[in-house]
């Protein structure tokens, strides 16, 4: 298992919109959590508020292009999406400003839904999740900070390690995985909406390009070697207050025999 846990790119202002989006997604999930015990009721809920491509293609339930961005199918689905938003959202919000970032986020989510619609317009399976919008955040982050360091958590049974990677490596591999998944899996069946992820990512990169060009384009990368223009965050292991008891080495010795003086 390999997934990001943090980046080394501190934001210059408090990311209130990013935090608010995380809070809203969690609260919305908790609001319909009891429905998971009633599969039929949950299905009807997702059919009403999730994006069903066949309905949207007929001009119906267009509101679901937005509402579906705040629904999730499980705790794991919600957790991974919010983790990615927490890691990368603050810096993209820093670049856009609060309200423009919110519009950028929602626009990427709509673009992601539309690409999935174009690939499978007759599908009747509801699409839910913030993945498309968050993929747009990843695309915007890649344009602005391709060499920002991202710490990846590697877990292989008993082998655990944190590996720092440049953002272009981590995000580039993630994007290629979405393309490969989309080509390999039929788009009109349940599962991961790979093309929505790819569409959101491309939309985020395209929408971020004008801001990148205003900062100088490749010259902006050249001034900072593709890294953020401010000092990166540094992390150190935090020592606990629990005292450590070191193991003593056992040495077998020959017992001393008392001697008498003559």
Higher pLDDT, 215 or 248: 215
The answer to whether residues 41 and 35 touch, using CB atoms and an 8 Å cutoff, is yes
Query: Which strands form 159-166's sheet, in the order they lie side by side?
Result: 2-7, 149-156, 159-166
Weakest-pLDDT range from 11-25, 109-123, 133-147, 244-258? 244-258
Whether 200 shows a pLDDT value over 60: the answer reads: yes
Weakest-pLDDT range from 19-28, 95-104, 138-147, 211-220? 211-220
Residue 55 exposed, middle or buried by CB count within 10 Å (0-12, 13-18, 19+): middle
Q: How would residue 220 be classed by pLDDT, with cut points 50, 70 and 90?
A: confident
Domain covering 2-224 in this structure, CATH number = 1.20.1540.10
CA distance 142 to 207: 12
pLDDT at 228: 78
Calculate what percentage of the chain has a pLDDT beyond 70. 88
The answer to whether residues 132 and 112 touch, using CB atoms and an 8 Å cutoff, is yes
Mean pLDDT in residue range 92-106? 97
CA distance 120 to 99: 32
pTM to 2 decimals?
Answer: 0.86
Q: Coil, helix or strand for 86?
A: helix
């Amino acid at each position: 298992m390999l997934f990001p846990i943090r980046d080394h790119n501190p934001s210059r202002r408090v990311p209130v919109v990013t935090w608010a989006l995380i809070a809203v997604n969690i609260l919305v999930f908790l609001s319909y959590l009891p429905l998971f015990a009633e599969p039929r009721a949950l299905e009807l809920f997702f059919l009403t508020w999730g994006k069903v491509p066949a309905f949207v293609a007929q001009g119906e339930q267009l509101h679901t292009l937005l509402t579906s961005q705040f629904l999730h199918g499980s705790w794991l689905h919600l957790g991974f999406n919010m983790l990615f938003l927490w890691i990368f959202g603050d810096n993209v919000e820093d670049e856009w400003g609060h309200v423009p970032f919110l519009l950028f986020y929602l626009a990427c989510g709509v673009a992601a839904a539309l690409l999935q619609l174009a690939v499978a317009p007759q599908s009747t399976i509801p699409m839910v999740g913030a993945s498309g919008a968050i993929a747009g955040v990843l695309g915007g982050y890649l344009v602005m900070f391709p060499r920002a360091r991202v710490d990846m958590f590697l877990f292989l049974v008993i082998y655990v390690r944190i590996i720092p990677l440049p953002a272009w490596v981590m995000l580039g591999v993630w994007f290629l995985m979405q393309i490969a998944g989309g080509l390999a899996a039929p788009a009109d069946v349940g599962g991961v909406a790979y093309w929505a992820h790819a569409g959101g990512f491309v939309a985020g990169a395209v929408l971020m390009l004008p801001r990148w060009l205003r900062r100088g384009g490749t010259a902006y990368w050249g001034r900072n070697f593709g890294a953020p223009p401010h000092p990166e965050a540094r992390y150190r292991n935090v020592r606990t207050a629990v005292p450590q008891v070191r193991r003593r080495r056992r040495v077998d010795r020959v017992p001393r025999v008392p001697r008498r003086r003559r």
